[in-house]
Each structure stands twice: as C-alpha cells, then as structure tokens.
Amino acid sequence: MDTIVKPKIVVGLGSCGIAAGASKTYHKLETLRSAGLFDFELAKTSCVGMCYKEPLVEIHEKDQWVIYGDMTEDKVEEVLRQHLEMKTVVETMVVSQQSGLGAEDAFFEGQVRIALRNCGHIDPESLEEAESKGAYQAIRSIVSEQLSAETVIKTVLDSGLRGRGGGGFPTGLKWRFAAQSEGAEKFIICNADEGDPGAFMDRSLLEGDPHAVLEGMMIGGYAIGASTGVIYCRAEYPLAIKRLNIAIHQAREKGYLGKNIFGHSSFGFDIYVKEGAGAFVCGEETALIASIEGQRGMPRKRPPFPAVSGLWQKPTNINNVETWANIPWIINHGAGAYAAYGTEKSKGTKVFALTGKIKNGGLVEVPMGITINEIIFKLGGGIQNNKKFKAVQLGGPSGGCIPASLGETAVDYDSVNATGAIMGSGGMVVMDESTCMIDLAKFFLHFTQDESCGKCTFCRIGTKRMLEILERITDGKGQSDDIEKLETLAHQIKNNSLCGLGQTAPNPVLTTLKYFRHEYEAHIHEKKCTAKVCKPLLHYHIDPEHCTGCTVCGKKCPVNAIDGDRKKVHVINQDMCIQCGECFTVCKFDAVVVE
C-alpha cells in the first residue's frame, strides 16, 4: 500500500510577513487543522524577498508547489478548499508556481541568489533544514582537510568578493592583513547594525538563514586565527536576534561552535551576540568597536586599523552580514564560480532592498553589472501608478541620487561611484515625478545630521547649517547665494570629517545639485516647487469653468479662506490660504488647481 503523504503548507514569517499579518494567517491555519477541516503539515520559513505580496503561503503536494500572495487570514479557508479539495489552483492569487506560470515569476527570473540562497526556503530555526541545504559543509571540509589559512584567504581573494557593507574593500585582502597581524588573541565581528534601507537586507538574512552567517564567521576565524566572533546587531531587530541565538545554541550543541570543532583540537571558535542601540554611526567599524567595549559609539582616527588594533586593542576583522553569508558558498563552489558573475572589478552578486515608488518592493539579489533600469523595471515591476521614473537614491541616507537619464548605469562599484552615489549596503529608494528633490535631500540630511555623533565640528555643525539652508529653500525663503553656500559646506564636511558618516552625509545634496539644479533654482528664484510638494511654495486657485458651487471645499477649509454661494463659482482668498491642500483633496470636479 502506498504511503499517504500530507500536503505541506509553509508560511513566510519574516518581519515583513508578520507586519503584513502572516502570524494571523499561520494561526488561522493551525485552527483549521485542529478543527479537522483539512489535513496538512504546517511549517514556517522567512522572507523570500517578495515583500510586496506578503503574507506569502506556499503549498506543496507531492512534487508540485504553488506560492500564494496576499494570503490574509480571511482568505485562507476558501483557498485551501479550492486547492486541496477541489484540486483547483486559485490563479488570481498565485505569485509563483512550479510550472512557471505565476504572475510574479519575473521577480525571480532576473536574480542570482547566493547570499539569499536559503532565505524563504528553510525553517530558519531548524539546523537540520539548514544542513540539508549544505550548512557547515564548507567549514567542515576546511578543518578536515587542514587547509592552510593562506589557502582559504586566497580563495576568497580570487573570488573577487568585496565588502558588501559600503566601502567595497577586497574581503580577502582585509583578511590577509588581520592574519598577518601579530597577536595570540584575535576577533571576528559581524556588522549587523547599518541603519539604512539596506539594513532590511541584513535583518532578512539573519532572520532567514542565520547559520550561513555563523559559518561565514567561522571560516573567517579559521583564516585569520581568531577564536571569538561577535555579531553586533541593533536591538530593534528582535526576531533576528532571537533566531541568531537559536542558531548559535544549536551549533554549540552539535559541536560546530566551541572547542575542538569537528574533532580537531587545532581549531576552536565561538560566537555571541552584542545588541546595539541602533546608532547609525555605529555602522562605522571603529565606532562599532567602541560600542562593543561599552564606550560611546564614536569613530577614532586610523591608523591603526582594526586589523592591527581593533576590539580590546587586538587584531580584528569586520565584515557585514551579506559578506559573511557569501563565504560558505565561495568555499563550496570555488572562487571561479563566484567570479563568473559580475564585472571585471565588481565580482559576484549584490542584494538590494527596493523601496519607494516602486511596484514590487522587497529584496532582490542580482549579478553585479546589471543596469539600474533592469532592476527597477524588470524585477521591480516599474513605477507605482505608472508614473514617470525620476531618480533612484542609492547607498542609504548618505548615498546619492541618480537621475532617470542615467538608468542604463551598470550597478557596480566604479560605475555607481562615478555618478556621485555609493553602493552602500544596498538601499535603493525609487522616486517618481511627484518627488521634490530638495525635499528628499532635506529628509536624508535631517537623518544624518540627527545621527551625527558630534565628535567632528564639520559634521556636527556643518550638516546643521546645510539643513537650515534646505529648510529655508523649501519654505520659500531661499536666497540667491544658497546654492553656493551648500556646495561650499558640503565639500568642507566631506574633506574634514573623521568617519564615513560625515564624509558621505552631503551626498544627497551634492547629487541633487548636480542633476536637479533647476529645481533648486526654481525654489529660490521663482518660488515654485515643480513637484508640488513644498507647501509654502504652492498656490491654490479655483478654475471657474469646473467649479459647480458644491460648497464642499469651503466647508472643509480649516481657515475659512474660500468664499462663494451655493451653485456659484468659489474663490480662494490668497491672504488667508495656508496651503494645506484640503480643498484640492476634497474637490470631485477637478476645479481646484495647484501651481
């Protein structure tokens, strides 16, 4: 008699899924199963990257699988009834399926998933599932074959992997410096505290495949001669921290962490998690080290570099989450396999967190060299509401804005840097025609100014002065020399700040001045915001040809600035108008015009 295999239902329970209601969907499935309405195996996974379709539910039957999107708790029972009982796929909710006929398959087709290889495909709290996908094979082979540290370092160096945290320094070279430093005690650090949109990628990796990060750190420890690893993770990521600690505990119990790993007395390595307070400046490695040591998170001068004198003044190697997750794959598949992706100077793949005015927001992993347009229009599905693509802000709060005219720019370190932006840790904020670039620059500068640790005068005071100028411009009080002042301050801050935060903080202003200078000039000289965002620069009036005299706008005006009798053309008193836009919002006849 054939064994009856139950259908398996997997729910995406990453932070993005939980925020969209996936926990409620999961509990509803538990209730349906407990009530005996359906018979299935229920499992959890994390984010597969398709955040815009959360909650996601995957149904496996024998060799067939289907992923349903927008699976809220109120839809679950009917979908299961059709799928499991009537054997009918609910096509309107399918985002991907084995037959390749899913509505969102283009989202996956353009990707090469190396760092994200297991995210959304395993239960992140199960060591067994991680091992079924190859976890700890790389470090096992290194230790068992007793490879030399230099052999491991050369493999990473030959792969062309560069640090994915923003600087883009060759990872193998960084390891070599730490390996060559003298010292009986050395440390490995995973920087999981970057505070830009790309940090969503870090969080998702830690939530979805924590064992990949642990194994990468173990390999780094073997290569440089370190016995202790620290994962510095912001406390605002409770699910990531929970799953990291579960993974560390599992690895210790299995003998993968601790002393005499895999029975070899020559190698021991352990890891612990240090929770950070979420300061953006602690993404800078010397500030991060200070925070781990219990000091205020502030950068220090270099040299000495951490490879020589880092944590507790011992040789230390620091890489970010994505970098560590790539390492086991490189060891298992070889340097050449990784270097086959990307461009001459930017090898491998890069994970991006797509956000902003884009249809398909989420995580994507693409080969280096892909164009900005390919990411936005193929994987990202284009601009929301079919509006015009205006620009993309790349590199986080201290990144730069790249205009749509440069959409064919290859996404690699050199090409992106040439635009004035930076790769950063992978934040990609997409903007449409309704975005005011001065308002955007003000938004990001406000963040970096607020996050300045205050150590450097140019960063502490200079960014504040720049922010004041931007606020003056968007308030309609811009002065003729404001652009010159912004450029002067920006270059002074870049050239005189100690760490990367101050050195890159002016980037949003410099790149918007470079590519959208006309918007600054319109704000200052014409007192106009062409994107119709800056309220003090907006003027509302009523078109008499469209006004029906319905009186709705007058009733909704908070300052009674609109005059007019019923069924008569209304008029806005410009002296009283506060540019709140309420009249524009409530008018159903397109009679209110904003200029």
Give pLDDT tens digits for 393-409.
998 888 899 999 999 99
* Residues 132 and 367 sit within 8 Å (Cβ to Cβ): no
pLDDT in tens, 225-236: 999 999 999 888
pLDDT over 50 (residue 364): yes
Look at 162 and 100; give whichever has higher pLDDT.
162
CA atoms lying within 13 Å on the CB side of residue 271? 31
d(CA 334, CA 221): 19
pLDDT over 70 (residue 198): no
pLDDT over 60 (residue 147): yes
Phi, psi of 531 (to 5 degrees): -85, -5
Look at 281 and 256; give whichever has higher pLDDT.
256
pLDDT over 70 (residue 3): no
The CATH number of the structural domain formed by 8-109 is 3.40.30.10
The CATH number of the structural domain formed by 349-432 is 3.10.20.600
Give me the chain's average pLDDT, please: 92
Percent of all residues in the chain with a pLDDT value above 70, rounded to a whole number: 97
Instruction: Check residue 162 and give its pLDDT.
Output: 95
- Residue 538 sits at the vertex; the CA angle it makes with 532 and 542, to the nearest 5 degrees, is 105
Instruction: Check residue 197 and give its pLDDT.
Output: 47
* Residues 205 and 425 sit within 8 Å (Cβ to Cβ): no
pLDDT over 80 (residue 195): no
Region 249-257 average pLDDT: 96
pLDDT over 80 (residue 104): no
Domain ranges of the chain: 8-109, 127-339, 349-432, 437-526, 539-594
Region 442-449 average pLDDT: 92
- The token pair at 68 is 């349903």
Residue type at 572? I
Lowest model confidence (mean pLDDT) among 120-129, 339-348, 391-400: 391-400
pLDDT band at 440 (very low <50, low <70, confident <90, very high): very high
Region 501-528 average pLDDT: 95
pLDDT band at 102 (very low <50, low <70, confident <90, very high): low
pLDDT in tens, 203-232: 999 999 999 999 999 999 999 999 999 999
- Bridging pattern class, strands 270-276 and 228-234: parallel
pLDDT over 90 (residue 99): no
β-strand partners of 43: 10
The CATH number of the structural domain formed by 127-339 is 3.40.50.11540
Helix axes 437-451, 507-515, angle to 10 degrees: 170
Region 536-554 average pLDDT: 92
Written out in words, the top-level CATH class of the domain with range 437-526 is mainly alpha
- The token pair at 179 is 């390996």
pLDDT over 80 (residue 278): no
d(CA 426, CA 402): 14
pLDDT over 60 (residue 1): no
User: What is the CATH T-level fold of the domain 539-594, as seen in this structure?
Assistant: Alpha-Beta Plaits (3.30.70)
Three-state SS for 298?
A: coil
Region 45-72 average pLDDT: 92
pLDDT over 60 (residue 386): yes
